[in-house]
Amino acid sequence: MIKLYDFLPCPFGQKVRIVLAEKSLSYELAAIDITKGEHRRPDFLRLNPYGRVPVLVDEDTVVYDSTIINEYLDDEYPDPPVLPRIEFSSLRARARIFEDFADTSFTPQVGQLMAEMAKPEAERDQGRVARLRQTIERVMDYVNRELQGQLFLAGEFSVADIGFVPRLLVLKELGIEAAAGRSNVEAWIKRLLERPSIQGLQGVVIEPIAGV
């Protein structure tokens, strides 16, 4: 039995939940409320010494970090795959590059903008808001170029696309129209939203998370 320790609004946990759904894997959810400091409890730190969600426990195997969890799931439960097959090493590397890019250069920036926008208008750092918006727009321009002639970012639907999904879903609420003037992104988002694994995420509590 798989157990997922997660905080539902966490975009990294959402990456894992998309993969679990893609692979039709059932799991027990153990909610860790990081706003209440539950990720600092000794029993949780025994699972992940970094004190971060998500953590996946599969029988005797404990895995943390969303990227590593998703690779573990793909190794252990290969069908359907969420990474290009091992013989397509170049595409596999491309998928990993995009997932890492989403995790480091998109998700945190959208999270920081969410945190600014959650403040009363008078308290917002407007310069920071403008810089974050510009960064996010640039990422979308880049993704639009990389999707030219492609259905997904690295061959079939993969972790490359999954990495973007959680924060892609909140852009509209932040006043960012990712699809506007970007026909490849528009078609990509439409394609992503057709997947039940991603439809299952909609309606999830969306809130800024400190540091993410």
Ligand X SMILES: N[C@@H](CCC(=O)N[C@@H](CS)C(=O)NCC(=O)O)C(=O)O
Of the candidates 10, 91, 185, 189, the residue annotated as catalytic is: 10
The least CB distance from residue 6 to ligand X, in Å, is 9
Is residue 209 a contact point for ligand X (CB under 6 A)? yes
Amino acid letter, 191 = R
Q: Exactly one of 66, 70, 109, 158 binds ligand X (CB under 6 A); which one?
A: 66
Q: Exactly one of 8, 21, 51, 124 binds ligand X (CB under 6 A); which one?
A: 51
Is residue 159 a contact point for ligand X (CB under 6 A)? no
Q: Closer to ligand X at the Cβ: 132 or 185?
A: 132
Q: Closer to ligand X at the Cβ: 10 or 198?
A: 10
Site string for ligand X, 91-130 (x = CB under 6 A): ------------x---------------------------
Q: Exactly one of 5, 54, 98, 165 binds ligand X (CB under 6 A); which one?
A: 54
- List C-alpha distances in Å: 123 to 115, 120, 129, 206: 11, 6, 11, 21
Residue 111 gets which letter from DSSP?
H
CA torsion sign for 15, 209, 52, 8 is negative
d(CA 160, CA 168): 13
Q: Exactly one of 18, 22, 23, 39 binds ligand X (CB under 6 A); which one?
A: 39
- List C-alpha distances in Å: 36 to 28, 31, 40, 134, 171: 21, 11, 9, 33, 27
Reading the block at residue 48, the tokens are: 């992940």
Judge whether 82 and 154 are in contact, CB under 8 Å.
Answer: no
* Block residue for tokens 């808001």: 129
Q: Exactly one of 2, 3, 62, 67 binds ligand X (CB under 6 A); which one?
A: 67
Binding interface with ligand X (CB under 6 A): 7, 10, 12, 34, 39, 51-54, 65-67, 103, 209, 211-212
